[in-house]
């Protein structure tokens, strides 16, 4: 089993141990930073080279949160969470990062084939081929790496993705955040947007609150949500950012139900829980009228904290009577740049 240990300031990481069979059981929830066992999607791992790994993953036939209308296909956003978990696991078992270290994902992207995501009579068992690129070490400790992932289901490609992962020791994280381990109280959740407008059935799963400006919303952070806030954090989780982008894209394309088959997201700074965050979205021109690009930004204190580009595809062939969506004028670009990290908690 993987070794998770606490180390002194100057101690090197121990050598990682071997993995175990694919798809027999989930890996330890601590390896993917989940408190709930049912939210662990990685089910096994093996080394395939110094920087290469084979991972097993499994998606349930239906998930309480990551699900699409009709329950005919798996939600593509499951791919984002799987990539997040894969990056954390590889860092722990492949490079010996101890428990208690913090992780940041500077960017995350994926592309899926919607036709390969059909829900069958069994859970979707995936094989992930993980290649670690741009591996940076210091004193035999991992600083950062990029995971490139190819996902297969029953021997057929399902999609691919990548993520840039940075490792932050506890002492550095405390200095960076300046909160002495305290978790700030989140703002009270605002009134949710009508669930049907953002592709949701339950108001508790809506992460957008209406705002006055068209194409804009306030981020709705409910720390009681059992999936998005699986464990206590001191900032807005990255998967909540992706969910906000997905719901904003669906709102722009309503009433046609769409799914994000491609996502490219950069996390530029922490989004604080105790401050308002503005979500802005607009449609971008595309070659294929069925595959419409949507740009979404999350802004706090007048600065862009996250930038998402989604390619949305209808769940079913679009009726001929539906007109192509109108394009919103892009909002003014922010030219200010900053350094920061969005923790992949």
**pLDDT for residue 15:** 58
Question: What is the average pLDDT across 201-214?
Answer: 96
Q: How far apart are CA 325 and CA 268, in angstroms?
A: 30
| pLDDT, tens digit, 9 for 90 and up, residues 103-150 | 999 999 999 999 999 999 999 999 999 999 999 999 999 999 999 999
Spatial CA neighbour of 272 closest among 242, 244, 299: 299
- Name every residue whose Cβ is closer than 8 Å to that of residue 223 and which is 6 or more positions away in sequence: 186, 229, 232, 273
Q: Which of 200, 103, 114 is nearest to 153 (CA)?
A: 114
At 306 the pLDDT is 98
Q: pLDDT by residue (tens digit) across 56-65?
A: 999 999 999 9
Summarised one tens digit per residue, pLDDT across range 5-43 is 455 555 665 655 555 578 999 999 999 999 999 999 999
């Amino acid at each position: 089993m993987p070794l998770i240990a606490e180390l002194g300031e100057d101690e090197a990481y121990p050598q990682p141990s071997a993995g175990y069979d694919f798809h027999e059981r989930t890996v330890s929830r601590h390896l993917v930073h989940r408190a709930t066992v049912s939210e662990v999607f990685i089910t096994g791992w093996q080394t395939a080279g110094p920087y290469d790994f084979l991972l097993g993953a499994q998606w349930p036939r239906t998930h309480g949160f990551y699900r699409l209308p009709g329950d005919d296909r798996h939600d593509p956003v499951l791919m984002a969470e799987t990539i997040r978990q894969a990056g954390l696991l590889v860092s722990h078992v492949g490079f010996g990062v101890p428990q208690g270290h913090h992780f940041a994902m500077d960017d995350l992207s994926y592309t899926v084939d919607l036709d390969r995501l059909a829900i069958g009579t069994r859970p979707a068992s995936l094989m992930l081929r993980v290649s670690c690129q741009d591996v940076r070490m210091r004193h035999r400790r991992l600083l950062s790496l990029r995971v490139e992932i190819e996902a297969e289901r029953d021997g057929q490609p399902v999609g691919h993705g990548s993520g840039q992962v940075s490792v932050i020791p506890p002492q550095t994280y405390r200095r960076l955040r300046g909160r002495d381990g305290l978790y700030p109280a989140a703002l009270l959740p605002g009134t949710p947007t009508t669930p049907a407008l953002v592709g949701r059935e339950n108001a508790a799963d809506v992460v957008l609150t209406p705002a006055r400006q068209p194409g804009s919303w306030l981020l709705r952070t409910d720390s009681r949500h059992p999936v998005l806030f699986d464990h206590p954090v001191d900032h807005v989780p990255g998967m909540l950012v992706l969910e906000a982008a997905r719901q904003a894209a669906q709102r722009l394309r309503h009433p046609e139900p769409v799914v994000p088959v491609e996502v490219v997201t950069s996390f530029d700074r922490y989004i604080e829980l105790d401050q308002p965050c503005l979500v802005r979205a607009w449609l971008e021109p595309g070659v294929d009228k069925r595959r419409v690009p949507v740009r979404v930004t999350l802004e706090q204190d007048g600065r862009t904290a996250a930038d998402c580009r989604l390619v949305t595809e209808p769940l079913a062939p679009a009726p001929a009577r539906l007109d192509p969506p109108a394009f919103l004028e892009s909002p003014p670009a922010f030219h200010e740049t900053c350094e920061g990290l969005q923790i992949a908690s």
